[in-house]
């Protein structure tokens, strides 16, 4: 009887340890996802800050431009000279407010940051976005979704050896209250496609894809991934609905 009791206690202890171990792994994974999200937010924040700084510099210089115009007028400079100066000022303002992809500030900022990264990495990128507001998805979720999709595509291109085709094609549009996102990127001919990242840090493996999948579920969406082994292409299509 005593042996049975001891065996039962040992079994219960092992069960508690196993449950605690599983809980610890879940907490560790949640922490990894949180750290990944914080890195994404930090990069996005830096992009926003650079745009704010450009706007701040323009406002700061505006007083100087007005003073220069007043001086030109006081000295009775020719209207042609004043017109040239005004055109230069107008061009600077237009460049500041110019949108590259769409009027949605969140989407615009993310795409500008990632497009610049592609230019630095010498990865050809085609980006086509319907010029509208994408308010069906919360701003924080849009940041996480687009960052991870584009990071996956950029990572895949970084692993392509010299001489092979590189490139990313990204499109985004609205269909009623639905949002359709499609991203196509090349992969190395030597690589078996997997959503698991090839980053050196093992803790980072698959986190980006987990975030994407959770957001697709949150917005009752559909995700379809197609692999063209002949042309070394991966196409990721996502259809999102408004969150209920």
pLDDT in tens, 144-203: 899 999 999 999 999 999 999 999 999 999 998 899 999 999 999 887 766 555 555 444
Best mean pLDDT range from 8-22, 35-49, 150-164, 180-194: 150-164
Final residue in a domain of this structure, among 46, 72, 97: 97
Best mean pLDDT range from 19-23, 55-59, 143-147, 169-173: 169-173
Band (48; pLDDT cuts 50, 70, 90): low
Distance of CA 30 to the CA centre of its chain: 20
Q: Are residues 111 and 223 in the same domain?
A: yes
Of residues 130, 209, 202, the one with CA closest to residue 173: 130
Specify the CATH number for the domain of residue 197. Answer: 3.30.565.10
Q: Are residues 82 and 8 in the same domain?
A: yes
> Which residue in this structure is represented by tokens 């063209």?
228
pLDDT on residue 192: 74
Domain count, the chain: 2
pLDDT on residue 203: 43
Final residue in a domain of this structure, among 44, 62, 97: 97
Final residue in a domain of this structure, among 97, 127, 154: 97
Q: Are residues 122 and 45 in the same domain?
A: no
- Which residues form the domain of 62? 2-97
pLDDT in tens, 120-142: 999 999 999 999 999 999 988 99
The three state secondary structure string of 89-156 is HHHHHHHHHCCCCCCCHHHHHHHHHHHHHHHHCCCCEEEEECCCCCCCCCHHHHHHHHHHHHHHHHHH
């Amino acid at each position: 009887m005593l042996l049975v009791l001891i065996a039962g206690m040992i079994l219960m202890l092992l069960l508690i340890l196993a449950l605690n171990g599983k809980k610890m792994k879940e907490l560790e994974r949640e922490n990894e996802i949180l750290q990944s999200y914080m890195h994404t937010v930090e990069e996005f924040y830096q992009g926003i800050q650079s745009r704010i700084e450009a706007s701040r510099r323009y406002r700061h210089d505006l007083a100087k431009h007005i003073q220069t115009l007043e001086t030109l007028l006081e000295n009775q400079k020719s209207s042609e000279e004043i017109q040239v100066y005004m055109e230069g000022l107008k061009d600077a303002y237009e460049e500041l407010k110019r949108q590259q992809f769409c009027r949605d500030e969140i989407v615009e900022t993310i795409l500008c940051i990632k497009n610049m990264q592609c230019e630095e990495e010498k990865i050809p990128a085609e980006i086509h976005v319907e010029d509208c507001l994408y308010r069906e998805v919360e701003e924080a979720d849009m940041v996480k979704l687009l960052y991870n999709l584009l990071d996956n595509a950029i990572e895949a291109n970084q692993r392509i050896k010299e001489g092979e085709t590189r490139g990313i094609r990204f499109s985004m549009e609205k269909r009623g209250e639905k949002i359709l996102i499609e991203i196509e990127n090349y992969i190395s001919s030597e690589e078996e496609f997997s959503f698991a990242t090839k980053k050196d840090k093992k803790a980072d493996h698959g986190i980006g894809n987990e975030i994407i999948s959770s957001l697709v579920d949150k917005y009752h969406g559909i995700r379809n991934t197609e692999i063209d082994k002949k042309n070394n292409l991966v196409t990721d299509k996502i259809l999102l609905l408004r969150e209920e």
